[in-house]
A and B are shown apart, each in its own frame.
Chain A
Amino acid sequence: MSEKVLMKGNEAIAEAAIRAGCRHYFGYPITPQTELAAYMAKRMPKIGGTFLQAESEIAAINMVYGVAGTGKRVMTSSSSPGVSLKQEGISYIAGADLPALIVNVQRGGPGLGGIQPSQSDYFQATKGGGHGDYHLIVLTPAGVQEMADLTALAFDLADKYRMPAMLLADGTTGQMMEPVVLPEEQIHTVEKPWAVTGTGMKRPHNIINSLYLKPEELEEMNFARFRRYAEIEENEVRYESFLMEDADVCVVAFGIAARVSKNAVVAARAEGIKAGLIRPITVWPFPKKALACAADKVKGFVSVELSMGQMIEDVVLATGNRRPVMLCNRAGGMIPTPDGVLDSIRKMNGGAEL
């Protein structure tokens, strides 16, 4: 096993990606994910890989599309405004059924917004983001160890299901340092007969493409893709359940919001309120069943978010609107405090309107 090291979240993603066999990185500078690109710039040339600072985020994601077509592991990273620019390419990657990793170290928006942490790209990440019907597998690290572990997992899932995966982090998890045990070097052996590598005059040509001019054909492509999505929703949901066995109030939060919420749940328990936490690790697929089960037992839910309330819509949908769901949020780069969350837990415990 590797030894424990102290690393920034952004750097942990980079090193984990390299250990997962990623040798191609394309990006464009933006705060607060710069350490990731800097790490790649240092390491890639030494291991025969590609680091390329592209002319724009648009170019970077299309370079990713090119490498993804060859079947090799490839990634890009950015922060919110840059990820908006990448949406065109992400839609093409999804439409051509290619695996790739996109990292979003979120900052406050809309527009140029700010540079402090945020979760306000939740809709963009989980509902498609670009044009057309598609999803990304979206993983949400809550600490530096998960920045590394979920990066490796994202590459595996992307390969397995032939689709782009996104690591939805934020400025805090990107900038903070924590001890981390880096994943082992990995040799991935997924067969990719669809890749463009040159026919070698041994097979008919492969075409990487998302254009289907016959609507019947395009519809069938969409149907097939969504059958795959259904499989993912069945098999790849990941979440952490904390003190939920006897909980009266269920806090739902991911990433940095979940770290803050954990403190609040512990504090609530200390004053006799049975609070628990469900932390989605995948936000697409969303842990619908876990929340539906919780709705059978708890008085209500508190959705804690660094946004004006985006995930809360999925919480309401998952729980069938059977229990009240309260929003506890900060926006624009502000972070909810444990006291703020505790306050919401108390209110929900005292009874709230549906």
Chain B
Amino acid sequence: MTTQILIAGFGGQGVLFAGKFLAYKGLLEDRQLSWLPSYGPEMRGGTANCSVILSDDPVGSPIVSKPDVLIAMNLPSLDKYENDVVPGGEIYVDSTLIARKVARTDVKVYYVPSTQLAKDIGAPTLANMVMVGKLLKENAAVSYDNLEAALKKVVSARHQDLMEINLKAINTGYNY
């Protein structure tokens, strides 16, 4: 089975970080995977996105053009990618920042006020990880296993003090 995930939002929302977390989790679970960021000026506050593919077979193209999962962290991302999601796929919407509803009726939609939830737990920059928590809960291809180990890989050595709060953000999303 292959799961194609597209995470999109503003630069600075931790879109690439969330993708990296999923990639490392895949690595620890010995899955085939690829992680591909958009790069360039986007890093400085424009739109950023990140393709993650998790698979049981070797990954073909690392570019996600028809996502099974779309995580939309802002309105431009939802507008841009909503129609690309495969029928039966999943869309995760940050309902704090996106006021509109998903128009598609052939996909599963999860509205999570992740920006607000992150603020509530005192981690306003971790809306990305709240969203990842919800994904772990709802999506069959990614489990709650290996959470801490994967997080340890992406949280850089000098920021290990941030492990706790990242875990908290993930759990907040998971339990939402």
Contact = CB atoms under 8 A, between A and B. Distances in A.
Please determine if A and B sit in direct contact within the complex, based on CB atoms under 8 angstroms apart. yes
A6 B27 contact: yes
B62 A6 contact: no
A259 B27 contact: no
Q: Is the interface of B mostly helix, strand, loop or mixed?
A: mixed
A176 B59 CA distance: 12
Contacts of B91: none
Contacts, number: 63
Nearest to A179: B27
Interface stretch (B35-43, B121-129, B132-140, B168-176): B35-43
A177 B39 contact: no
A175 B39 CA distance: 8
A171 B30 CA distance: 26
A6 B36 CA distance: 12
B23 A177 contact: yes
Given A177-B20, A178-B34, A179-B33, A259 B61 contact: yes
Contact of A259 (B32, B39, B60): B60
Interface residues of A, number: 25
B65 interface: yes
A262 B60 contact: yes
A172 interface: yes
B60 A172 contact: no
Interface residues of B, number: 20
Interface string A147-189: 0000000000000000000000001100111110000000000
Contacts of A5: 27
A18 interface: no
Contact of B61 (A32, A115, A178, A260): A260
B92 interface: no
B142 interface: no
Contact of B23 (A6, A31, A260, A339): A6
Contacts of B23: 6, 177
16 contacts: A31-B40, A172-B62, A176-B34, A176-B35, A176-B62, A177-B20, A177-B34, A177-B35, A178-B35, A179-B32, A179-B33, A260-B60, A260-B63, A266-B60, A337-B65, A339-B65
Given A175-B37, A177-B23, 19 more contacts: A6-B27, A6-B35, A32-B39, A115-B40, A116-B40, A143-B34, A172-B36, A176-B35, A176-B37, A177-B34, A177-B35, A178-B34, A178-B35, A179-B33, A256-B62, A259-B60, A259-B61, A260-B61, A337-B63
